[in-house]
Structure 1
Amino acid sequence: MSRRALFLDRDGVINIDHGYVVRRDAFDFVDGIFELVAQARARGYLVIVVTNQAGIGRGYYTEADFHALMEWVGEQFDARGGHIDKVYFCPDHPEHGVGEYRRVSEFRKPAPGMLLAARDDFDIDMKASLFVGDNLTDMQAGAAAGVGTNLLLTPEGSCDFAETIPSLQAALSFLR
């Protein structure tokens, strides 16, 4: 039986995007994220993070640094009534990647690879799922993967691929 998922971008949705955040002391949670994840879990959604992490590819920090931070992030959600089921990340960058990370990847948004991997790993009903992102590339990836509701977190502007929402609190109304 397929399950629904709440897909979340990381930088700009879970945390304030200060640019290549990898340290706990620089990780500021976006207002409303804990409530959104807790409500999604209470309504039976899986919670999946899908995030481009070019900072790894650029050599700013390592995959181990990223995993350590995300383990701590997961603990913060668990302590507040939410849970992240899995984090998918793409460290590659086609122009600015260093060494093995300098490549085109089907997992780097706007490509849908991370979302499709989650679909296959968890038997997710993409049409019944939601994706909250803060970038056009997030919305393009969601649309390409067949996500039923794509929400662009932005105080202004419109997007051909998504509903726009001014805050994470507004995303609560899309959980069924």
Structure 2
Amino acid sequence: MRVKLLILDRDGVINQDSDAYIKSVEEWLPIPGSIEAIAQLSKAGWTVAVATNQSGIARGYYDIATLDAMHARLRELVAEGGGEVGLIVYCPHGPNEACDCRKPKPGMLNAIARHYSANLTGIWFVGDTLGDLQAALAVDCQPVLVKTGKGLKTMNSPLPAGTLIFDDLAAVAADLIQQHK
């Protein structure tokens, strides 16, 4: 049976983004409705994975223990809502490190596919930047743009053909749950 998989970017989709980087658990603030959306998806049988660029590690703004604490907080909040978060993968590299994981490269999405033995064709990847949408295209995912985070600014760029656009993660969740009743 094919896993009902949804892949999310983190900053700007699940939590507030900051050009100064999210450097602590205190700065990690969920976007209203996002935690509930993940919990609802999880309860509806969806596996929700996360793929997030975290160049703040390479830049020395925070360490992996701090990042792990942010993700523990995310998992805790979603669990309080009766759901769970699946695999969280992150790219700790800076933009000039020539890794294969930093979006728009597809390394993290491929890692999620391997973890779940999933074919990513048509799987929704929800992001707020052009890099997210380009990563989705690189592995034949369905690119989905939310208007939170950098999403409104991203809408001013030419978007990949077929990109779906939603106000926020709560609207994505409502649509997916309605589609798959």
Q: TM-score range by the shorter chain?
A: 0.7 to 0.9
Structure 1 residues 36-75: aligned runs within 5 Å: 36-75=37-76
Residues 102-152 of structure 1: CA deviation (Å, up to 9, x unaligned): x211110001110111101111232352111110100111111121x3211
Deviation at residue 69 of structure 1 after TM alignment = 1.9
AA of the residue aligned to 1:7: I
In the alignment, is residue 118 of structure 1 matched against residue 112 of structure 2? yes
Scaled by the length of structure 1, the TM-score of the pair is 0.87
Percent identity of paired positions between Structure 1 and Structure 2: 33
In the alignment, is residue 153 of structure 1 matched against residue 127 of structure 2? no
Distance 2:117 2:73 in 1: 27
Alignment match, 1:132: 126
Please say if residues 4 and 125 of structure 1, whose CA atoms lie closer than 8 Å, have aligned partners that are also in contact. Answer: no
Alignment match, 2:93: 92
In the alignment, is residue 106 of structure 1 matched against residue 100 of structure 2? yes
Distance 2:40 2:78 in 1: 12
Alignment match, 1:173: 175
AA of the residue aligned to 2:124: L
Task: Give ranges in structure 2 of 5+ residues lacking alignment.
Answer: none
SS at match of 1:108: coil
Please say if residues 55 and 92 of structure 2, whose CA atoms lie closer than 8 Å, have aligned partners that are also in contact. Answer: yes
AA of the residue aligned to 1:166: D
In the alignment, is residue 6 of structure 1 matched against residue 6 of structure 2? yes
May I ask how many residue pairs the two structures share in their alignment? 168
Distance 1:83 1:132 in 2: 17
4+ long deviations beyond 3 Å: none
Task: Give ranges in structure 1 of 5+ residues lacking alignment.
Answer: 96-102
Please say if residues 39 and 79 of structure 2, whose CA atoms lie closer than 8 Å, have aligned partners that are also in contact. Answer: no
User: What RMSD over aligned residues (CA atoms) do the two structures have, in Å?
Assistant: 1.7
Deviation at residue 165 of structure 1 after TM alignment = 1.4
Please say if residues 121 and 139 of structure 2, whose CA atoms lie closer than 8 Å, have aligned partners that are also in contact. Answer: no
Distance 2:6 2:82 in 1: 15
Deviation at residue 42 of structure 1 after TM alignment = 2.4
Distance 1:52 1:46 in 2: 20
Please say if residues 134 and 160 of structure 2, whose CA atoms lie closer than 8 Å, have aligned partners that are also in contact. Answer: no
